[in-house]
Amino acid sequence: MEQSQKSHRSRQSGPSAKKKSDVAKKKRDHTDDKNQRNPKDKEKRDLADDKNQRNPRDKKKRDGDKNQRNPKAFAFNSTVKAKRLQSRASEKEQRRLHIPTIDRTTGEPAPYVIVVHGPPQVGKSLLIKSLVKHYTKHNIPDVRGPLTIVSGKQRRLQFVECPNDINGMIDAAKYADLALLLIDGSYGFEMETFEFLNIMQVHGFPKVMGVLTHLDKFKDVKKLKKTKQRLKHRFWTEIYDGAKLFYLSGLIHGKYVKREVHNLARFISVMKFHPLSWRTSHPYILVDRFEDVTPPDKVSTNKKCDRNVTLYGYLRGCNMKKGTKVHIAGVGDYNVAGVTGLPDPCPLPSAAKKKGLRDKEKLFYAPMSGLGDLLYDKDAVYININDHFVQFSKNGDENDGSGTRDVGEVLVKSLQSTKYSVDEKLNNSFINLFSQSSNNNNQGKITNGDENNSIEAIEEGDNVGSDDESEDDDDSEEDNNPHEKSTLKAVGDGQKVKGDIQEEVEVHEGRTRRRAVFGNENELDDQEATDEDDDDSSDDDDSSDDAESASSEEDEEDEEEEEEQDLEVYLKAENAGNASKWKESLIERTISRKNINLMQLVYGKSETKPDEESDHENESDDDEFFKPKGEGNTKLKKGSEGNLVNTDDSSKFTNNASEKDWKDVETIESIRDRFVTGDWSKAARRDQPADMDGENDDDAPVFGEFEDLETGEKHEGDDNNEPDSIVEERRLKKLALRAKFDAQYP
């Protein structure tokens, strides 16, 4: 049988390699001859040579290659470098070790959600636009709703701009796979960032990267460098050492610099997203489009009728069953009428073996921004046609007299005359829950029923931002003058980010902004100063090495190298499970929660008192635990609709819980046996039909006296009234039975 042999590798060094190189040289000469015939090519080569001469680094490299024929064989010239490479290799090895996670997903993975968060006007929309432009080469005019793009052969990304209100932030924290925290570098950290970090801590912590914008506002290079350092260290203190912070140094033609966006995009493209266990076991959808499909005649007869709404989006987590209830964030719980699989509006490219994406495959889908050519509906497919292809004359045109107007035409014409879109109208009626300034304070103090309800709901539900609210009350007098700085302690003790973060409200460039001021700023500053000295000295060393070659090209290369290193450090930190500081505080919280005795919460006060102090705490917990239901009932009876959101189905304003009086002892007893530790014997008795054999009629315990045959341990029943003789008799009987059994089955 013939077997194909693998050909030998050509030699890199030694006499035979020399022979080969001679052959290669001949070939080259031959091509040179050819090139001479083609003067254009020669020009090109000369140009390239010129370039190389200009870049001394490349020359060094080339020289090095000449001296050592096989550079791989002489990789280490210095021990330091060797050591570094060795440690890097072993770190890489370590990185691969992790607890294996089972990938239960089937089919194409849903797009990863990237939430872009930041205070107002920091550049969120611009960053999304720039990233979309980078990935798809398309310009999007507006960022509205989720925006899906294909970023690679196996990856799709969904960009979402995080709304600047607490509810929006809570929702975003729940579905984000990566959060890009935008920080205005020229201003510093603002409270919104820390509020979002706090919310993320409670609602599942996704990956986090920082992005500094507005750096072009610095005119002084030294100051810029210092600020970058300061913000970086602060960011590291708040998240974890090595947390990635990007710099967007300014705008070119109203967009961020291509190179910087490219770097950021590369980070996002290679990032590993470890699934959060809770999310993988629960189905959830980030809705990118919705539609009211209630029959129009039903709406026209009763405007407040039950609506049917179709929601579109990628299903994540696990499969969704048909009959399940769903929670729609900010709306309530509803029944699902049906779930249908639709064609993917933004499919992954074919799995052909080639590198990169073709332009055709760089798809994107943003229905709410009015982009993407096709829209798939439950029962139809829409094709988007650009506005300039749809031409309708202005309202009140001359052909009015004809009197034969199409319904669609009338609709389009009526749309032309609309001044404000629904979104704009909604925007105008925005309620700012965070703001501390006097003008916003007034908003906060409006005794508007709806608003109070929403604030209450947040306080009860998540306890996030509750301190904000209480502080609002305390400082309402101080804040009367918007130009007066006032310091508020904004972050609650229970959920402190780290250190003392104080809020400083001030008017900056015509806007009220909430600066985050840190308690230990001075310590950090000192540290940074020393760090910077080190940096400077190393810079000096570099410059002394080859002072003349400090060209801008080199700077660029250095930056690239730095980025490369950063990417490595970042991935290393990620993979090595760099325990973030958030996790520390999570552990603390968990420990503090351990003191709660669930038994006591469910069954009331126990007779054994392990610890008086904790008992006392639990008592108050008890109160809290049982209170809301009673109170809720009274509130419900008062008819405040806001409290009904947590009932089974929010579309029906009925509350089953209110039908039973949960303060009544009997009602409580009726469900006691539903808990594992409840009194099952009573339940068993209660459940038994009356006409069963007379055996159990005498209230015999279900688990009477018995002997564990394996351990020989004896268990006495509850009922100790039986005389000893009967007990003894039964025991002997059992022993006899056992002996018989042993004899039969040795």
Ligand X SMILES: Nc1nc2c(ncn2[C@@H]2O[C@H](COP(=O)(O)OP(=O)(O)OP(=O)(O)O)[C@@H](O)[C@H]2O)c(=O)[nH]1
The amino acid present at 668, given as its one-letter code, is I
Q: How far is CA 43 from CA 36, 39, 47, 59, in A?
A: 10, 6, 6, 20
Part of the chain binding ligand X (CB under 6 A), chosen from 209-217, 306-314, 670-678, 735-743: 209-217
Residues comprising the chain, all counted: 746
Q: Which is nearer to ligand X, 121 or 595 (CB)?
A: 121
Q: Contact between 124 and ligand X (CB under 6 A)?
A: yes
DSSP 190: B
Tokens found for residue 458: 């947040």
Q: Which is nearer to ligand X, 150 or 172 (CB)?
A: 172
Part of the chain binding ligand X (CB under 6 A), chosen from 7-15, 51-59, 210-218, 239-247: 210-218
Shortest reach from residue 252's CB to ligand X, in Å: 10
Q: Which is nearer to ligand X, 9 or 253 (CB)?
A: 253
Q: Which is nearer to ligand X, 255 or 589 (CB)?
A: 255
Q: Which is nearer to ligand X, 392 or 430 (CB)?
A: 430
Shortest reach from residue 75's CB to ligand X, in Å: 42
Report the C-alpha gap between 291 and 310 in whole angstroms.
Answer: 5
Part of the chain binding ligand X (CB under 6 A), chosen from 76-84, 90-98, 244-252, 292-300: 244-252
Interface residue with ligand X, options 111, 123, 210, 317 (CB under 6 A) = 123
The amino acid present at 729, given as its one-letter code, is E
Q: Which is nearer to ligand X, 129 or 498 (CB)?
A: 129
Q: Which is nearer to ligand X, 186 or 655 (CB)?
A: 186
Q: How far is CA 303 from CA 23, 421, 641, in A?
A: 87, 21, 18
Shortest reach from residue 492's CB to ligand X, in Å: 25
Q: Contact between 210 and ligand X (CB under 6 A)?
A: no
Interface residue with ligand X, options 156, 174, 203, 214 (CB under 6 A) = 214
Q: Which is nearer to ligand X, 130 or 580 (CB)?
A: 130
Q: Contact between 229 and ligand X (CB under 6 A)?
A: no
Shortest reach from residue 345's CB to ligand X, in Å: 25
Own/partner contacts of 514-520, CB < 8 Å, gap of 24 or more, are: 514/119, 514/190, 514/191, 514/192, 514/434, 514/435, 514/436, 514/490, 515/187, 515/188, 515/189, 515/190, 515/191, 516/188, 516/189, 516/190, 516/191, 516/193, 516/194, 517/487, 518/234
Classified as helix, coil or strand, 183 is strand
Shortest reach from residue 186's CB to ligand X, in Å: 8
Shortest reach from residue 412's CB to ligand X, in Å: 29
**Looking at beta carbons, which residue is closest to ligand X?**
123
Q: Which is nearer to ligand X, 17 or 215 (CB)?
A: 215
Q: Contact between 170 and ligand X (CB under 6 A)?
A: no
Q: 273 to 302, contacts with ligand X by CB under 6 A?
A: none
Measured from the Cβ of residue 185, the count of other Cβ atoms closer than 10 Å reads: 25
Q: Which is nearer to ligand X, 223 or 629 (CB)?
A: 223
Q: Which is nearer to ligand X, 185 or 317 (CB)?
A: 185
Q: Where in 336-458 does DSSP place strands (E)? A: 364-365, 374-376, 381-383
Shortest reach from residue 67's CB to ligand X, in Å: 46
Tokens found for residue 620: 């108050």
Q: Which is nearer to ligand X, 123 or 632 (CB)?
A: 123
- CA Rg, the chain, in Å? 35
Q: Which is nearer to ligand X, 129 or 156 (CB)?
A: 129
Judging by DSSP bridges, how do beta strands 364-365 and 486-489 pair with one another?
Answer: unpaired
Q: Is 186 within 8 Å of 179 (Cβ atoms)? A: no
- Exposure class string for 4-26: b at 16+ Cβ within 10 A, else e: eeeeeeeeeeeeeeeeeeeeeee
Helix ranges restricted to H, 594-664 = 598-603, 612-638
Going by C-alpha positions, the residue among 163, 148, 228 that lies closest to residue 199 is: 163
Part of the chain binding ligand X (CB under 6 A), chosen from 168-176, 208-216, 387-395, 698-706: 208-216
Judging by DSSP bridges, how do beta strands 714-715 and 178-184 pair with one another?
Answer: unpaired
Using CB under 6 A, count the residues that bind ligand X: 15
Binding string, residues 89-118; x marks residues near ligand X by CB under 6 A: -----------------------------x
Measured from the Cβ of residue 746, the count of other Cβ atoms closer than 10 Å reads: 4
Part of the chain binding ligand X (CB under 6 A), chosen from 45-53, 166-174, 211-219, 627-635: 211-219
Q: Contact between 188 and ligand X (CB under 6 A)?
A: no
Interface residue with ligand X, options 110, 114, 126, 261 (CB under 6 A) = 126
Q: Is 182 within 8 Å of 159 (Cβ atoms)? A: no
Q: Which is nearer to ligand X, 162 or 285 (CB)?
A: 162
Q: Which is nearer to ligand X, 213 or 438 (CB)?
A: 213
Q: Contact between 131 and ligand X (CB under 6 A)?
A: no
DSSP 366: B
**Phi, psi values for residue 209, rounded to 5°:** -130, 145
Shortest reach from residue 142's CB to ligand X, in Å: 10
Part of the chain binding ligand X (CB under 6 A), chosen from 94-102, 243-251, 554-562, 719-727: 243-251
DSSP tally for the chain: helices H, then strands E: 24, 20
Q: Contact between 122 and ligand X (CB under 6 A)?
A: yes
Q: Contact between 169 and ligand X (CB under 6 A)?
A: no
- Exposure class string for 605-629: b at 16+ Cβ within 10 A, else e: eeeeeeeeeeeeebeebbeebeeee
Shortest reach from residue 568's CB to ligand X, in Å: 27
Q: 340 to 379, contacts with ligand X by CB under 6 A?
A: none
Part of the chain binding ligand X (CB under 6 A), chosen from 43-51, 121-129, 377-385, 477-485: 121-129
Q: Is 536 exposed, middle or buried (0-12, 13-18, 19+ CB in 10 A)?
A: exposed
Shortest reach from residue 250's CB to ligand X, in Å: 5
Tokens found for residue 212: 């500094």
Measured from the Cβ of residue 111, the count of other Cβ atoms closer than 10 Å reads: 25
Q: Contact between 216 and ligand X (CB under 6 A)?
A: yes
Interface residue with ligand X, options 35, 55, 68, 125 (CB under 6 A) = 125
Containing 256, the helix (H) or strand (E) segment is strand 255-256
- Exposure class string for 441-454: b at 16+ Cβ within 10 A, else e: beebeeeeeeeeeb
Q: 246 to 265, contacts with ligand X by CB under 6 A?
A: 248, 250-251, 254
Report the C-alpha gap between 667 and 429 in whole angstroms.
Answer: 46
Part of the chain binding ligand X (CB under 6 A), chosen from 120-128, 236-244, 576-584, 590-598: 120-128
Contacts of 56 (CB under 8 A, 6+ apart): 546, 549
Q: Contact between 121 and ligand X (CB under 6 A)?
A: yes
Q: Contact between 213 and ligand X (CB under 6 A)?
A: yes
Q: Which is nearer to ligand X, 259 or 635 (CB)?
A: 259
Shortest reach from residue 291's CB to ligand X, in Å: 25
Going by C-alpha positions, the residue among 197, 213, 193, 194 that lies closest to residue 205 is: 197
What residues line the site for ligand X (CB under 6 A)? 118, 120-126, 213-214, 216, 248, 250-251, 254
